[in-house]
Amino acid sequence: MISRVHEELFLANHEEAAMRLQTYRDESRSRHFDLICGREHPRSIDLVLVITSGMLVVGFACALMVPFASTIANF
């Protein structure tokens, strides 16, 4: 059985590693979405930037695969 001390340490470690979503509006009333992690030294990641970067990487990978797919289709 897990002791209460181990359970509290387990929960503290998971709370520290968890990320939370924060939304806010800047001076021009634009909405921003950030993922925030860490309590003592919070770090933030712009969610829009992460999604856009992921889409660009997937698009680039697909563009690289087109020449190979066309050569395989000719066989």
Give the burial class of 5: count Cβ atoms within 10 A of its Cβ; 0-12 exposed, 13-18 middle, 19 or more buried: exposed
The string of pLDDT tens digits covering residues 8-65 is: 555 555 555 577 788 888 888 888 888 888 777 778 888 888 899 999 999 999 999 9
Q: Which domain holds residue 8?
A: 4-73
| Number of domains the chain is built from | 1
Distant-in-sequence, close-in-space partners of 23: CB < 8 Å, separation ≥ 6: 31, 32, 33, 34
Q: What are the residues facing 20 on neighbouring strands?
A: 36
Q: How far is CA 14 from CA 17, 18, 71, in A?
A: 5, 6, 49
Sign of CA dihedral 50, 46, 10, 4: negative
**0.95 surpassed by pTM:** no
